[in-house]
Amino acid sequence: VALETQANETLKLLPGDNMAQSYLRYAAHKDKTLLAHDRANSRPTAGSYLNLSLSYYETKQYEPSIEACQQALKLKPDYAAAYNNMCSAYSQLGKYNEAEAACLEALKIDPAFQLATNNLMDVRHQRSLL
User: Secondary structure of 56-91 in the HEC alphabet?
Assistant: HHHCCCHHHHHHHHHHHHHHCCCCHHHHHHHHHHHH
Q: What is the mean pLDDT of residues 105-128?
A: 97
> Would the pTM of this model clear 0.85, i.e. be above it?
no
Lowest mean pLDDT among 29-38, 71-80, 89-98, 120-129: 29-38
